[in-house]
Structure 1
Amino acid sequence: MNNIKKFFTIKDLENISGIKAHTIRIWEKRYNLLSPQRTDTNIRYYSPESLQKLLNVVLLNKNNFKISKIAQLSNDSIEINARELAFKIAVNDEAINSFKLAMFQFDKVLFNNTYNKLLHKKTFRELFKDVFIPFLNHIGLLWQTNTLLPAHEHFISNLISQKIQINTEKLEYSTSNTDITYVLFLPENEIHELGLLYLNYELVLRGYKTIYLGQSLPLNNLNYFFESDTDICFITSMTVMPYDDKVNDYFYEVEDILKDTNHKFIAIGKKAMDLKEIIFKSNIHVYPSLIDVLKYL
């Protein structure tokens, strides 16, 4: 865990909060809202507490609290007011900000309260597509720019995962389409499974039989399913694995496994799109995102 970030640059704060660095500097200078520390070369850096305070300030400011008034509040009052406000609002952008705040403050109560408010206005499908997908896309950007702490990503991912599994469990008593079975799994050393979990939910919702195998599965484990009389569609999601120079080899192995069968194979995600041009003899398809696969299905 030594690689976890304990301090943030002003660019990190801009990426996370959506507030321009120039504005953050003005708020510091004019209202003394943040007190950054400085390196020996006079570069600002901020603690996790400063980041949390900024997120609270932004939430209040976007909901008609003037910066001059926020600046007069104590840190505790800012946090209390922001939390109360986050409990009240739960529509798209506001909900995303609330989830972001819950993530950085490790606040399960705020997460669940925001989620439950959304369910009064949206179905779970609408909630996931309108709120969770944009939120997770933003989390991916923060991860790519090395802004997000792994602990924060794990915390929020586990909470969302629980909601997907709870909603899937409610559906798993009615399989109406038995023509094909979907087998879902992640490649070896791949752990990013939220998209795949949600796809499993969508398939179960549509009456399909699914077998969810989860994270880090060796390809040779799929051989077990070839004895089945039912058509199989294997689906995997590739966020960080396989490594860039192994992507083509992975698909060659899939091609070899699928030969002489009628089974399908679908790969989703950035790594799948890194595949160099191959003419497949087997029924293999790649898609950039979960949304694209749902259109195909």
Structure 2
Amino acid sequence: MNNIKQDFTIKDLENISGIKAHTIRIWEKRYNLLQPKRTETNIRLYSNENLQKLLNIVLLNNHNFKISKIAKMSDEELILQSRELAFTTSINDEALNSFKLAMFQFDKQLFNSAYNKLLQKKTFREIFKEVFVPFLNHIGLLWQTETLKPANEHFISNLIAQKILINIEEIQFNNSNTTKTYVLFLPENEIHELGLLYLNYELVLRGFHTIYLGQSLPLNNLDYFLESKNEISFITSLTIKPYDDKIEDYFKEVNAAIADTNHTFIATGNKVNKVKHLKLNERIQLYDSMLDLLNVL
């Protein structure tokens, strides 16, 4: 595929692997572990194969393999040792490496293979909390450092979303907890919905009735539910939107919307810290993360 990222800078490798560029240069010079190309201006450019090799090196090094010993391994031995380690003590690390490579190479087969290996030892809930959450946090870092392109994020996010939806479909819908309805949505122009999708999964798993409205929903689109006499808990996740200069106005609008109702409004995400100083309706609940909310549901 022509749109697969073929070349990585040493800064890219640092951001993806967590190993400082200075250390990578030392490994390269002293042990000849990587063989980058160089531009006419002498800038190092690393291939997908270099990235994969570095991730395997880091996996072994993090589990007490000395760099001097790793350097003596052939490429085939390095891969075999990494796989063996993955099936014993660090399947999460190996999966994270595979997910990173799958994201940059647009490789659905690699993603599914790593996911299916995880399923041999973990439940879906464990996979999401122990592997997908750290991976998504890492994606956020790659965004900040401009290592990641939107196409890469959209590709991997859609694959994870598919797994959540499959697991929701497999749940026996018994709706045993029918005292309230949860309406899940994202604010207008907010598209980062994986956390919200997983919340929907957890609520359905626990027998609650949910209505999933998805991405980019203006508050006035909730009027039908706000006018309901039944108790409703609205849940939203604030990752990017509303922007900082609009966030207080957004919650003031929420405050007014639920003022004369028996509904609750739950917001998660890093944006909630921007409004914790406001005097809000007691039925507005703020949680720093989706996992914090799950602990009290």
Under a length normalisation based on structure 1, what TM-score does the superposition of the two structures give?
0.86
Q: 1:257 to 1:5 in 2, by over 3 A?
A: farther
Query: Contact (CA 8 Å) 2:86, 2:92: kept in 1 or not?
Result: no
Question: 2:125 maps to what in 1?
Answer: 125
- What is the CA-CA distance between 1:282 and the residue it aligns to? 5.2
Q: Which moved more, 1:136-145 or 1:56-65?
A: 56-65
Partner of 1:239: 239
> What amino acid sits opposite 2:52 in the alignment?
L
Amino acid of the residue matched to residue 54 of structure 1? L
Matching residue of 1:68: 71
Q: Given the two structures, how large is their TM-score scaled by the length of structure 2?
A: 0.86
How far apart, in 1, do the equivalents of 2:258 and 2:201 lie? 25
Q: Is the 8 A contact 2:106 2:155 kept in 1?
A: yes
Structure 1: unaligned runs, 5 residues or longer: none
Residue-by-residue CA offset, 1:194-252 (whole Å, 9 max, x unaligned): 00000000000110000000000010011111343321000111111011100000001
Q: 1:160-239 residue pairs with structure 2 within 5 A? A: 160-171=160-171, 173-239=173-239
2:52 matches 1:55? yes
CA contact (8 A) 1:185 1:217 kept: yes
1:168 and 1:25 map into 2 onto residues whose CA distance is: 46
Letter of the structure 1 residue corresponding to residue 291 of structure 2: I
- Segments of 5+ residues of structure 2 without an aligned counterpart are none
Distance 1:32 1:121 in 2: 32
Seen in structure 2, the aligned counterparts of structure 1 residues 186 and 172 have a Cα distance that, compared at 3 Å, is: farther
Q: Distance in 2 between matches of 1:182 and 1:272?
A: 19
- Structure 1 residue 83 displacement after superposition: 9.7
Specify whether residues 257 and 22 from structure 1 end up closer, same or farther in structure 2 by C-alpha distance, changes over 3 A only: same
> Does 2:103 correspond to 1:103?
yes
User: Could you give the per-residue CA deviations for residues 145-182 of structure 1, whole angstroms, max 9, x where no partner exists?
Assistant: 22212121111111100000100111152211110100
Q: Output one character per residue of 1:110-162: Cα deviation in whole Å (capped at 9) or x when no partner.
A: 11111111112111111111111111111111112222121211111111000
> 1:255 — aligned with what?
255
Give the drift of 1:25. 1.0
CA shift for structure 1 position 62: 3.1
Q: How many angstroms apart in 2 are the aligned matches of 1:88 and 1:151? A: 31
Q: 1:138 to 1:61 in 2, by over 3 A?
A: closer
Query: Within 1, Cα distance between the matches of 2:121 and 2:5?
Result: 37
- The answer to whether the 8 Å contact 2:17/2:58 transfers is no
Query: Which residue is equivalent to 1:46?
Result: 45
Q: CA separation of 1:123/1:117 partners in 2, compared to 1, >3 Å: closer, same or farther? A: same
Match of 1:150 in 2: 150
C-alpha separation in 1, matches of 2:113 and 2:203: 27
Residue 55 of structure 2 aligns with an amino acid whose one-letter code is: V
2:157–2:194: 8 Å Cα contact kept in structure 1? yes
* CA distance 1:168–1:106, change in 2 (3 Å): same
Contact 1:188 1:218 in 2 (8 A): yes
Return closer, same or farther for 1:240/1:172 CA change in 2, 3 Å cut-off: farther
Aligned residues: 286
Partners of 1:148 and 1:82 in 2: CA distance? 28
- The alpha-carbon deviation at position 290 of structure 1 amounts to 0.7
In the alignment, the residues of structure 2 paired with residue 171 and residue 137 of structure 1 have an alpha-carbon distance, to the nearest angstrom, of: 27
Query: Is this contact kept in 1: 2:185–2:213, CA < 8 A?
Result: yes
Distance 1:26 1:214, change over 3 A: same
Give the % identical residues.
62
* Contact 1:255 1:282 survives alignment (8 Å): no
In the alignment, the residues of structure 2 paired with residue 188 and residue 172 of structure 1 have an alpha-carbon distance, to the nearest angstrom, of 32
Give SS of 1:192's match: coil
Distance in 1, matches of 2:38 and 2:77, equals: 21
SS of 1:244's equivalent? coil
Q: CA RMSD in A?
A: 2.8
Q: Structure 1 residues 27 and 81 mapped into 2: Cα distance closer, same or farther (>3 Å)? A: same
Do the aligned partners of 1:185 and 1:212 also contact (CA within 8 Å) in 2? yes
CA contact (8 A) 1:237 1:268 kept: yes
Of stretches 165-174 and 123-132 in structure 1, the one that deviates more from structure 2 is 165-174
